[in-house]
Amino acid sequence: MTAHPLRLPAGPVDLDDIPSDATPGFKGNKKKAKAALFAMGDEIADRQERLFAEGRTTGSHRRVLLVLQGMDTSGKGGVLKHTVGLVDPQGVRITSFKAPTDEEKKHDFLWRVRRAAPQPGYIGVFDRSHYEDVLIGRVDHLAEPEEIERRYDAINDFERELVEDGTVVLKCMLHISKDTQKERLIRRLDRPDKHWKYNPGDLNARSKWDAYREAYNVALERTHTDHAPWFVVPSDHKWFRNLAVGELLLAALRGMDLQWPPADFDVEAERARLLAEDASA
């Protein structure tokens, strides 16, 4: 498969025009998709380790930031488990953004986000993100309209800073239909081992589905930049969603052309030091 069809075109966005049950670029079923994702594991692991090695040794600031956004049940947790779970956890830092704390509310909305940005060599993953501040922030009028307006530009500036400092920013909108959300919510109610994932408050957001869709449309359009593009991932099929994000991550790592860092010490001299122990022991 190829991930390119997921990249949002420039211009006005209407998510209603993008099928959420499509599997662009992939001809196969659930079983094949799972196998394809699993098969990516080794290459992702190899490239991630090169990134980590580079961050540890060379002073390079290169890193990856994967932003996951989507309505409840769109599968941010599933992507974390199945796709991000392919990567050595040593090189991954996940931040789950909840409603801001009182401390966080005292600062600009990007304050907590800056602190959570990945360190050099890492793959940082945002489970929700600064985009909530122009999504629920807009839908529930948590800030004045002028402030919401300001935030789109602030986000673009912030992401440009990240990119200029060596971060590859990968933004995924996990796109589901309203019907799919309903099925998944009912499934959570049906299964006692899923009750913990159900929150009655989720229905409040669901009741504002159209307002959220509008907020997403605006946010996607305003923050879809060359330096930090958006990918809309059709997510009605969980197996396609997990595979597609894996493809995007792998493509990002490939694009970085990561090499094993050269030794910054004299390999032969070190070997001699180690072998000399025998003589002195």
Least distance (Å) between residue 44 CB and a second copy: 12
Smaller CB separation from a second copy, 93 or 222:
93
**Shortest CA distance to 172 belongs to which of 99, 95, 239, 247?**
247
Smaller CB separation from a second copy, 82 or 224:
82
Q: How many CB atoms lie within 10 A of CB 94?
A: 16
Smaller CB separation from a second copy, 78 or 137:
78
Q: Do β-strands 123-127 and 63-70 pair in parallel, antiparallel, or remain unpaired?
A: parallel
**Shortest CA distance to 130 belongs to which of 176, 167, 171, 161?**
171
Least distance (Å) between residue 136 CB and a second copy: 19
Alpha helices in the chain (DSSP H): 30-57, 76-82, 102-105, 111-116, 136-139, 145-164, 178-190, 201-207, 209-223, 238-255, 267-280
Smaller CB separation from a second copy, 181 or 223:
181
What phi and psi values does residue 140 have, to the nearest 5 degrees? -100, 15
Q: How many CB atoms lie within 10 A of CB 102?
A: 6
Least distance (Å) between residue 200 CB and a second copy: 5
Least distance (Å) between residue 12 CB and a second copy: 27
Give Rg (Cα) of the chain: 21
Query: Residues interacting with a second copy, by CB under 8 A?
Result: 53-54, 56-57, 77, 80-81, 84-85, 87-90, 92, 94, 96, 127, 182, 185-186, 189, 192-193, 195-200, 203, 260-263, 265, 267, 270-271, 273-274, 277
Smaller CB separation from a second copy, 2 or 199:
199
Least distance (Å) between residue 156 CB and a second copy: 28
Least distance (Å) between residue 251 CB and a second copy: 21
Give the CA angle between residues 73, 178, 232 to the nearest 5°. Answer: 70
Smaller CB separation from a second copy, 28 or 100:
100
